[in-house]
Chain A
Amino acid sequence: MASRAQTAASRETEQTVDFLTGNEAAALAAKMARVQVISAYPITPQTTIVEKLAEYIANGDLEAPCINVEGEHSCMAAIYGASLTGARTFTASSGQGIAYMHEQLFTVHSQRLPVVMAVPNRNLAAHILCDHGDTMAQSTTGWMQLFAENQQEVLDTILQAYKIAEDKRVLMPIMVCYDGFITSHTGATMKVPSQEEVDSFLPSRVNYYDQVNPDDPLVLQIFRYDVMQFEREHDEALQAAKTVIAEVNREYDEIFGRTYGDGLVETVQCEDAEAVILTSHSSAGIARTVVDELRGEGERIGLIRLRSFIPFPQERMRDLLPGFKAVAVLERNETHGSGCGEIYKELRSAAYDLDSRPRILDFIGGLGGADITIDHVRSVARAALEAAKTGSVEKQVTWLDKL
């Protein structure tokens, strides 16, 4: 243990301190991953990622074609073609852009292409600001979804995403999601690894199947009779991805000295907790502050940060949940008609077969860029503690308006 800590500490000195926005961190990660083909169509709050990549290319810092397209549907088609040739590809989009890609997202998954897409999340209904409705709406497309809490994790997770997606056991596309504006346009102090370190962590993409070749044409994506079989295999690959996400998280820690829980889920002060907040993205940062505060007052509260939404870590949740009396989910999305959010549904589904399960409450906040304040998170924590004490829940789903 000591030697690993020592290695991590000495590694850290090879990293330089910088102050980057989430989008700058995403562009830098793509450059350091030595991406070979880029395509994207501008949409706020994604645009500054591709602007930065265009600047890298113009300055000679990155050698990759950046394919200009007339919209996101074509963008994903271009990425699909490029990835079929064996190239490491990068794209980024948000909100309506992802909605417009929808059909092509299935196509990329059906060919098991390890495409990485950065997504600063954006509301779809009526605003340019953040909520997670855009990627929640793509949860059945067969793309993995990892949630980054802050700017440092955006950089780290994009580097990890290539390693996860390109692993032979996985070979599936992946979105790295983070809060639009709150993370994408906010500058933060962070550490940037050296190119040598990144190269040692992330070698070139290995192609396990024949690449497309103009001299030997073939037809893809015509009607297939084995859809049942390949969809089942794809689901197995996504289940296997849980192991790979955890492995990659450990390996990243060994090289760069940074770790995010077990890769799927991060627990904070959960050991003796009676009540926990379960949240994702930047809200987890606020929840850390609130948990510290309430621990100071003697409350037995903890935080579970969900990092991998797809694949959803059911097994890990089943291990964790019996230890608590109440879990309050805080999420930035809502499924109309269900009256609750998507994370709440997944969590309750995972908990159903447990003999002993906690009360599970849902809090919906921050839609369309509404601020999730520290007071909101305090109220979520108080509700969880109350449910843990009384064993009953008055209100299953709460909408967080301005306090």
Chain B
Amino acid sequence: MYEYRVHGRGGQGAVVGCKVAGLAASLQGMHALSLPHYGFERRGAPVTVFLRFSDSPITNSSRVDNPDGIVVLDPKLLQLKQLIVPGLKKGGVAVLNTRKPPQEIDLEVPLSRVATVDATEIALSTIGRPITNTAILGAFCATTDILKLDFIIEAITRLMPGANLDKNLEAVRMAHQNTVIEQRE
């Protein structure tokens, strides 16, 4: 079982992005659960989604308190450590949207892997809007061994079949290639 916590802001597509991740995992033969943590969401406010991936059926639908990793869709949220860090496992993983290289990231928890990508720039140059969900999926795929790129592409094709499909697929591929990963202890 892999448990992740995804942080974004209302409007960045965290919920849809996690649905893509869940479908991709399902298509590649795994079981997944994508659990948005609902309050009174509005555009710009922090949004949290919990993700579980497993080879066997998942019965636990409670919130994820101790994630194996975090995924952050908005660079400014990196300043809110009290939001994104609590419960993160020692030796965990962080996939972050930021211009900074991973060496400059300190989340005050010993992590095994820190990955950064400028997902906002990639989203702007492909989709034309700072909707970072598809780019961060590319980074997530490059950083962890859970999802395969082909299935992410298939899931996006099924769930986002509009005029922006090709641009979203480009965002995934660009982020997948441009993610910088630092291995830590």
Residue A182 CB within 8 A of the other chain: yes
User: Which stretch from A186-194, A270-278, A351-359 is at the chain B interface?
Assistant: A186-194
Q: Which residues in B have their C-beta under 8 angstroms from that of A373?
A: 62-63, 65
Q: How far is the CA of A196 from the CA of B57 in the complex (A)?
A: 26
Residue B19 CB within 8 A of the other chain: yes
User: Which stretch from B27-35, B67-75, B125-133 is at the chain A interface?
Assistant: B27-35
Selected contact of B26 from candidates A128, A181, A189, A286, CB within 8 Å: A189
**Interface of B, helix, strand, loop or mixed by DSSP:** mixed
Q: Which residues in A have their C-beta under 8 angstroms from that of B33?
A: 186-189
Task: Name which residue of chain B comes closest to A188, CB basis.
Answer: B33
Q: How far is the CA of A18 from the CA of B31 in the complex (A)?
A: 10
B175 → chain A closest CB, angstroms: 22
A392 → chain B closest CB, angstroms: 30
List A244-286 residues whose CB lies under 8 Å from chain B: 282, 285-286
User: By the criterion CB–CB under 8 Å, are B61 and A18 in contact?
Assistant: no
Residue A67 CB within 8 A of the other chain: no
User: By the criterion CB–CB under 8 Å, are B34 and A187 in contact?
Assistant: yes
B52 → chain A closest CB, angstroms: 9
User: By the criterion CB–CB under 8 Å, are A285 and B60 in contact?
Assistant: yes
Question: How many chain B residues touch A (Cβ–Cβ < 8 Å)?
Answer: 24
Q: Which residues in A have their C-beta under 8 angstroms from that of B38?
A: 128-129, 181, 185, 369
Q: Which residues in B have their C-beta under 8 angstroms from that of A174?
A: none
Selected contact of B61 from candidates A189, A285, A369, CB within 8 Å: A285
Are A18 and B26 CB-contacts (below 8 A) given A186-B34, A188-B32, A188-B33?
Answer: yes
Are A188 and B62 CB-contacts (below 8 A) given A19-B19, A19-B23, A19-B32?
Answer: no
Residue A183 CB within 8 A of the other chain: yes
Residue B36 CB within 8 A of the other chain: yes
Q: Which residues in B have their C-beta under 8 angstroms from that of A188?
A: 22, 31-34, 58
Q: How far is the CA of A17 from the CA of B104 in the complex (A)?
A: 41
Q: How far is the CA of A128 from the CA of B26 in the complex (A)?
A: 30
Q: How far is the CA of A18 from the CA of B26 in the complex (A)?
A: 7
Residue A308 CB within 8 A of the other chain: no
Q: Which residues in B have their C-beta under 8 angstroms from that of A187?
A: 18-19, 22-23, 32-34
Residue A371 CB within 8 A of the other chain: yes
Most buried by A among B18, B26, B59, B61: B61
Q: Which residues in A have their C-beta under 8 angstroms from that of B155?
A: 19
Most buried by B among A128, A186, A289: A186
Most buried by A among B23, B27, B32, B38: B38
Q: How far is the CA of A328 from the CA of B27 in the complex (A)?
A: 38
Task: Name which residue of chain A comes closest to B25, CB basis.
Answer: A189
Q: Which residues in A have their C-beta under 8 angstroms from that of B57?
A: 189
Q: Which residues in B have their C-beta under 8 angstroms from that of A17?
A: 26-27
Task: Name which residue of chain A comes closest to B38, CB basis.
Answer: A181
A194 → chain B closest CB, angstroms: 18
B160 → chain A closest CB, angstroms: 14
Are A286 and B58 CB-contacts (below 8 A) given A17-B26, A187-B19?
Answer: no
Q: Which residues in A have their C-beta under 8 angstroms from that of B22?
A: 19, 187-189
Q: How far is the CA of A372 from the CA of B60 in the complex (A)?
A: 10
Q: How far is the CA of A188 from the CA of B57 in the complex (A)?
A: 10
Q: Which residues in A have their C-beta under 8 angstroms from that of B61?
A: 150, 179, 182-183, 186, 282, 285-286
B161 → chain A closest CB, angstroms: 12
User: By the criterion CB–CB under 8 Å, are A288 and B36 in contact?
Assistant: no
Task: Name which residue of chain A comes closest to B159, CB basis.
Answer: A19
Are A285 and B59 CB-contacts (below 8 A) given A187-B19, A188-B22?
Answer: yes
Task: Name which residue of chain A comes closest to B28, CB basis.
Answer: A17
B120 → chain A closest CB, angstroms: 25
A15 → chain B closest CB, angstroms: 12
Q: Which residues in A have their C-beta under 8 angstroms from that of B58?
A: 188-189
Task: Name which residue of chain A comes closest to B63, CB basis.
Answer: A371
Q: How far is the CA of A183 from the CA of B65 in the complex (A)?
A: 18
Residue A206 CB within 8 A of the other chain: no
Residue A240 CB within 8 A of the other chain: no
User: By the criterion CB–CB under 8 Å, are A286 and B62 in contact?
Assistant: yes
Q: Which residues in A have their C-beta under 8 angstroms from that of B59?
A: 150, 285-286, 288-289
Task: Name which residue of chain B comes closest to A366, CB basis.
Answer: B62
Selected contact of A186 from candidates B25, B26, B31, B35, CB within 8 Å: B35
Residue A374 CB within 8 A of the other chain: yes
List A31-53 residues whose CB lies under 8 Å from chain B: none
Q: How far is the CA of A181 from the CA of B39 in the complex (A)?
A: 10
B33 → chain A closest CB, angstroms: 5
Q: Which residues in A have their C-beta under 8 angstroms from that of B36?
A: 181, 185-186
Q: How far is the CA of A185 from the CA of B58 in the complex (A)?
A: 16
- Known interface pairs A182-B35, A189-B33; 15 further A-B residue pairs with C-beta atoms within 8 A, sorted by A's residue number: A150-B59, A185-B36, A186-B33, A186-B36, A187-B33, A188-B22, A188-B32, A189-B26, A189-B30, A189-B31, A285-B60, A286-B59, A286-B61, A369-B38, A374-B62
B interface, CB within 8 angstroms of A: 18-19, 22-23, 25-27, 30-36, 38, 57-63, 65, 155
Closest A-B pairs by Cβ, 10 of them? A285-B59, A19-B23, A187-B34, A189-B26, A19-B22, A19-B26, A189-B31, A186-B35, A187-B22, A282-B61
A interface, CB within 8 angstroms of B: 17-19, 128-129, 150, 179, 181-183, 185-189, 282, 285-286, 288-289, 369, 371-374
Can you list 10 residue pairs at the A/B interface with Cβ under 8 Å?
A19-B32, A181-B38, A186-B35, A189-B25, A189-B30, A189-B31, A285-B60, A285-B61, A286-B60, A373-B62
